[in-house]
A and B are shown apart, each in its own frame.
Chain A
């Protein structure tokens, strides 16, 4: 385990809201085998940029199903997708209305505030 602690995962994240042009931001986060992409994103908020917007609730159980996003163009749950020591591209779900950064409107219409 110790030989891996200095490895990093590079998260290239699509950020912005419907009211701006959007931008790419890239962050390095520490990598340990077995970690999830959500582990990396949570580390990032605590240690680099708390303004990053993402949805998650249950952290690890894959029960809430809130942390859906795209990893390298494929839809994943960030809590079960593995972090890897390479560049990983994270984007919001393309078929849902963008709220901000990695957050999209994923609730069924009847469960949204109107």
Chain B
């Protein structure tokens, strides 16, 4: 049965309903636009925001004097020479206003003596990171933005709507094509402005701290529509992701806030402190940046001094029960349900794919190089350079989301809504209507295989040999996947969803591995064992374009040098 596609028109289409997407929707509607907010999962539930258990960096200066310039200096230093200065500046300068707006909306930032209280995260020169206790930051931000949207009739929400391609004509984006997961029915959306807020790519890795819908789909959508990506080789590994014992009901990145509060000792399999061997002494305080900590743990494991499951120990055994209870609150009880008693045992931790610094190239108005296409949140590349500072992820989601929403509304003021013609949508529609007569390959297993390839060969420590092997394996998987989707356009067909996901994930995996192979140096999160030095000639962004079905990678100077003039 061939069903006619469902046709929708809107001023602004926002793809992805994490903090960036929701803030973009709210701001676009404040600018007078009608908005459609689409998410392949449930609104405000999938994505990374809801899982953010940690802190949000903003120079509020309520407890300690602060100024966005200081936040900016720390962001630039963490980025190892690769931050896009215009984006980093926007992030730091607009952060306090966004934090205060969320406060007014009732998010519930932790307070002391009437002030919003802040903690010092590694890499910040002072206490600058706000949070909602206990490890409830992301869920509170998500819920607050959902509640604000619920009062707004100009934002239509569409959960279970999977976008598979942007629709473009003559180098301009006119909307997007997708399908309704529940029915399989194709959907064509005409939009004056389209905002990508799809998050990062951590699902490419076996062990990751993100939702299952963070497979880098926005990068692939942008590429195929003619937008450029930058810095794709910079994948941030969170050094102390929970490894063992098995812990359910908690995000694997949960240990960080407690390290802020209590320090905690990082120990090798022989129960020795080891980070000083790699040039950084922890001394009971939590100061080690993510790239260095990841390196130290992986190297210790390689030297045969890892913990039983292949990581390091994190110990709070030196803390009193009362101190633990005060810092962890009800989390102590959830740990107890998992048979973890921190007064008596350490836990095992190991690096876990956490965030992607690279992404869609955008200017400080969040416009991409393709008219009609904007980007917001983690999907944007450049603001955090080669290594993201703790606390900047939710900040950029809020700041970039708000900015993208404003730009999208602005575009709608001087443009009329596009009319989609059959030739604009025929290619996407053809793919959406395709059904395999025979059973295709097991797409769920293929995703697991891709995750193993990326974890083993495009992980935190890289070599040319590993990256070349990964590229060959990715190419073989791409052939296996084929050009037409598995499954059929039926209700909630996960094999079909996996096929569309793999189509994007394989393209993005290739962009990451190829960019990593090209960059013959070590910088921030990109660590090449065969090129351990940071080289001045590599202070540039690698740009990825899609030309005739192939990835093209070129070098471009760091935007700072361009913008200074």
Write the residues of chain A forming the contact surface with B, with a CB cutoff of 8 angstroms.
Answer: 17, 32-36, 45-47, 50-66, 77, 79-80, 82, 99-101, 103, 105-107, 110-114
The residues of B that contact A100 with a CB separation of less than 8 Å are: 490-493
Task: Name the 4 nearest CB pairs between A and B, nearest first.
Answer: A34-B246, A61-B251, A113-B158, A50-B444
Q: What is the predominant secondary structure among interface residues of chain B facing chain A?
A: loop
**Chain B contacts for A82, CB-based, 8 A:** 248
A107-B42 CB under 8 A given contacts A46-B444, A50-B445, A63-B139? yes
Chain A hits for B47, CB < 8 A: 57
B198 within 8 A of A: no
**Could you say which of A57, A62, A99, A112 contacts B250, with CB atoms under 8 Å apart?**
A62
A57 to B250, CA, bound (A): 14
B168 an interface residue at 8 Å Cβ cutoff?
Answer: no
Which one, B41, B50, B211, B246, contacts A59 given CB within 8 A? B211
Do A79 and B492 form a contact, CB below 8 Å, given A64-B45, A111-B43?
no
Tell me, in angstroms, the Cα distance from A33 to B447 when the chains sit together. Answer: 25
Q: Is the CB of B498 within 8 A of A50?
A: yes
Is the Cβ of A60 less than 8 Å from the Cβ of B250?
yes
In the complex, 16 of the A-B residue pairs with CB atoms within 8 angstroms, ordered by the A residue number, are A36-B248, A46-B444, A50-B498, A51-B494, A53-B492, A53-B493, A57-B46, A57-B47, A61-B51, A63-B251, A64-B50, A107-B43, A110-B157, A111-B159, A112-B159, A113-B187
Chain A residues, Cβ within 8 Å of B211: 57-59, 64
How many Å lie between the Cα of A56 and that of B138 in the bound state? 17
- Mark B residues whose CB is within 8 Å of A: 38, 41-47, 50-51, 53, 138-139, 150, 157-161, 180, 182, 187, 211-213, 245-252, 338-339, 442-445, 447-448, 487, 490-495, 498
Residue numbers in B under 8 Å from A17 (CB-CB): 491
Return chain A residues, CB-CB under 8 Å to B249: 60-62, 77, 79-80
- Is the contact region of chain A dominated by helix, strand, or loop, or is it mixed? loop
B160-A50 in contact (CB<8A):
no
B182 touches A58 (CB 8 A): no
In the complex, which residues of chain A have a beta carbon less than 8 angstroms from the beta carbon of B53? 61
Q: Are A107 and B252 in contact (CB under 8 A)?
A: no
CA distance A80 to B251 in the complex (A): 12
Select from chain B the residue with minimum beta-carbon distance to A101: B492
Q: Are the CB atoms of B212 and A46 closer together than 8 Å?
A: no
> Known contacts A50-B444, A111-B159, A113-B180; is A64 also within 8 Å of B495 by CB?
no
Docked Cα-Cα span, A111 to B492, in Å, equals 17
Chain A residues within an 8 Å CB radius of B247: 34, 60
CB pair B43 A63 closer than 8 Å: no
Rounded to whole angstroms, the CA-CA distance of A47 and B211 in the bound complex is 21
B residues in contact with A36, CB < 8 Å: 248
State in angstroms the CA–CA spacing of A112 and B39 once bound together. 10
Contacts of A33 in B (CB 8 A): 246
- The chain B residue sitting closest to A50, CB to CB, is B444
Partner of B248 from the list A45, A53, A60 (CB cut-off 8 Å) is A60
Q: Please tell me if the beta carbons of B250 and A53 are within 8 angstroms of each other in the complex.
A: no
Chain B hits for A35, CB < 8 A: 246, 248
Contact with B45, one of A45, A50, A53, A66 (Cβ below 8 angstroms): A66
Q: By the criterion CB–CB under 8 Å, are B248 and A80 in contact?
A: yes
Instruction: Give Cα A65–Cα B245 distance, bound, in whole angstroms.
Output: 23
Instruction: Decide: A66 near B248, CB < 8 A? Known: A51-B493, A56-B212, A99-B491.
Output: no
CA distance A100 to B182 in the complex (A): 8
Residues in A whose Cβ lies below 8 Å from that of B492: 53, 99-101, 103
- Which residues of the partner chain B approach A103 to less than 8 Å between Cβ atoms? 492
Residues of A within 8 Å of B45, CB to CB, are 57, 64-66
Cα distance, A59 to B139, chains bound together (Å): 15
Please judge, given known A-B contacts A110-B157, A113-B180, whether A66 and B138 are in contact too, CB under 8 Å: no
